[in-house]
């Protein structure tokens, strides 16, 4: 193979998806249907489709038909499959509070649920596969998120500013210099409230958030959450997490055990190829309190932006500790060319470009097998998912 192949990427219609962000990016008329995630990868849950002269093939099947050639020796020997999944993520409403397991926890949980005979698509199942799911989100528009527990005394200040009697028990815990066990107990107490008490707590906090006051960014996110989930006490948990506002081009990395939620905006997400999500609120879906609490890292403090480096001027690389993936942003002004050092997926996010002679518009994507020469011409931006060169 000497060139890239075009992909057709499935779009997931989760309820929290935006009805306009992806449509606006691709230049089409928005519909009323939510478009949440465009999956760019070979995960069996929704693999991209490869366009060939013989018709469409699933990307996982396309790779497995000649894995050494398509992955390259380095990636094939290290992972045996495409180890990353890239997405265009468009949030119109808050996503669930969630965390992802370590590799060891994912493997043991997956085996345990398989042995128990729990179907993969069962609503109460926690583990869809045996992999961890570290991830990076890079903003394409202003993007709001919650990630990691705030320093306790900062949370005391936030909660106290709301002047809400229902929050006093939480304030007392946070003011006592709590350790990890205390934070775990506080979270468990919120998650296990009987339904009537949970709804009462959520409505009390929602009413307090309606008033203007200190911490306007926190209040704005809290109000948005309360509008979407008026009876969900997860709004209390959300107030304990760092509020993050990303400008376009900024990114955060979310490792195992970090409680987080995306609030709104459009971004490029890249992760290890997994669909393991342990939920902790702001969702009608199943919450396994014990599994979630056992997964979480109850450390406190801010979440830093991902370091980005530029080696050529046109390409910006986002550096994380994940061995499975690296994200690069390439601003094309005339032309850009490179040789894929392992499997890569590119997606156009801006401009009208030509990729190996074929015209591409925003949201169009391609797969590059290892060793393929790729040339992109025109003016626009592409994001490229790849395996870090030091892996393997």
pLDDT of residue 45: 87
pLDDT of residue 1 exceeding 60, the answer is: no
Residues ≥6 apart with Cβ < 8 Å to 4: 346, 355, 356, 366, 367, 368, 372, 374
Distances (CA, A) of 189 to 137, 216, 231, 293: 30, 27, 16, 11
How does pLDDT run across 246-301, given as a tens digit for each residue?
A: 999 999 999 999 999 999 999 999 999 999 999 999 999 999 999 999 999 999 99
Q: How confident is the model at residue 312 (pLDDT cuts 50, 70, 90)?
A: confident
- Buried b / exposed e across 241-263, counting CB within 10 Å, b at 16+? bbbbebeeebbbbbbbbbbbbbb
Q: How confident is the model at residue 392 (pLDDT cuts 50, 70, 90)?
A: low
pLDDT of residue 177: 87
pLDDT of residue 243: 98
How does pLDDT run across 139-158, given as a tens digit for each residue?
A: 999 999 999 999 999 999 99
How does pLDDT run across 343-372, given as a tens digit for each residue?
A: 999 999 999 999 999 999 999 999 999 999
* 219 tagged catalytic: no
pLDDT of residue 322 exceeding 60, the answer is: yes
Q: How confident is the model at residue 116 (pLDDT cuts 50, 70, 90)?
A: very high
pLDDT of residue 3: 87
Please compute the mean of the pLDDT values over residues 161-171 and round it to a whole number: 96
Q: How many residues are present in the chain?
A: 392
Read off the DSSP letter of residue 33.
S
- DSSP per residue, 140-195: SS-EEEEEEEPPHHHHHHHHHHT--GGGHHHHHHHTT---HHHHHHHHHHHHT--H
How does pLDDT run across 183-193, given as a tens digit for each residue?
A: 999 999 999 99
Average pLDDT of the chain to the nearest whole number: 95
CATH superfamily to which 94-306 belongs: Phosphomannose Isomerase, domain 2 (1.10.441.10)
Q: What CATH number has the domain spanning 308-386?
A: 2.60.120.10
Same fold, 94-306 and 308-386: no
Domain segments of the chain: what residues? 94-306, 308-386
Q: How confident is the model at residue 33 (pLDDT cuts 50, 70, 90)?
A: very high
- Buried b / exposed e across 149-179, counting CB within 10 Å, b at 16+? bbebebbbebbeebebebbeebbebbeeebe
User: Beta partners for 316?
Assistant: 310, 329
pLDDT of residue 32 exceeding 90, the answer is: no
From 105, 279, 317, 386, active-site residue: 279
Task: Report the predicted TM-score, pTM, of the whole model to 2 decimal places.
Answer: 0.95
Q: How confident is the model at residue 181 (pLDDT cuts 50, 70, 90)?
A: very high
How does pLDDT run across 186-240, given as a tens digit for each residue?
A: 999 999 999 999 999 999 999 999 999 999 999 999 999 999 999 999 999 999 9
Please compute the mean of the pLDDT values over residues 37-54 and round it to a whole number: 91
pLDDT of residue 115: 97
pLDDT of residue 93 exceeding 70, the answer is: yes
Task: Please give the share of the chain, as a percent, with pLDDT higher than 70.
Answer: 99
């Amino acid at each position: 193979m000497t060139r890239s192949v075009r992909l057709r990427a499935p779009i997931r219609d989760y309820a929290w998806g935006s009805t306009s962000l992806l449509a606006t990016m691709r230049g089409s008329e928005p519909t009323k249907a939510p478009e949440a995630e465009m999956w760019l990868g070979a995960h069996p849950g929704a693999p991209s489709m490869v366009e060939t002269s013989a018709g469409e093939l699933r990307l996982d099947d396309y790779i497995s038909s000649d894995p050494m050639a398509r992955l390259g020796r380095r990636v094939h020997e290290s992972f045996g499959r495409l180890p990353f999944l890239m997405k265009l993520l468009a949030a119109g409403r808050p996503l669930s509070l969630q965390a992802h397991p370590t590799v060891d926890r994912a493997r043991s949980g997956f085996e345990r649920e398989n042995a128990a005979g729990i179907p993969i698509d069962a609503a109460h199942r926690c583990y869809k596969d045996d992999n961890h799911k570290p991830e990076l989100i890079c903003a394409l528009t202003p993007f709001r998120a919650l990630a990691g527990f705030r320093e306790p005394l900062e949370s005391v200040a936030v909660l106290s500013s709301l002047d809400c009697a229902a929050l006093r028990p939480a304030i007392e815990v946070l003011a006592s210099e709590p350790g990890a066990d205390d934070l775990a107990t506080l979270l468990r107490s919120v998650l296990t409230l009987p339904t009537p008490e949970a709804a009462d707590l959520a409505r009390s906090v929602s009413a307090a958030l309606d008033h203007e006051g200190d911490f306007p960014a926190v209040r704005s996110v809290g109000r948005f959450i309360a509008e979407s989930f008026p009876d969900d006490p997860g709004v209390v948990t959300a107030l304990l997490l760092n509020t993050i506002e990303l400008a376009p081009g900024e990114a955060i990395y979310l490792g195992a055990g970090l409680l987080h939620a995306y609030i709104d905006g459009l971004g490029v997400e890249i992760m290890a190829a997994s669909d393991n999500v342990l939920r902790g609120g702001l969702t009608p879906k199943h919450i396994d309190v014990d599994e979630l609490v056992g997964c979480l890292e109850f450390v406190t403090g801010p979440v830093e932006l991902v370091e980005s480096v530029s080696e050529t001027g046109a390409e910006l690389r986002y550096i994380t500790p994940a061995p499975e993936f690296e994200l690069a942003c390439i601003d094309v002004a005339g032309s850009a060319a490179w040789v894929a050092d392992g499997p890569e997926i590119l997606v156009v996010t801006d401009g009208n470009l030509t990729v190996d002679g074929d015209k591409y518009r925003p949201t169009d994507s391609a797969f590059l097998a290892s060793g393929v020469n790729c040339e992109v011409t025109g003016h626009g931006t592409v994001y490229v998912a790849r395996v870090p060169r030091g892996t393997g």
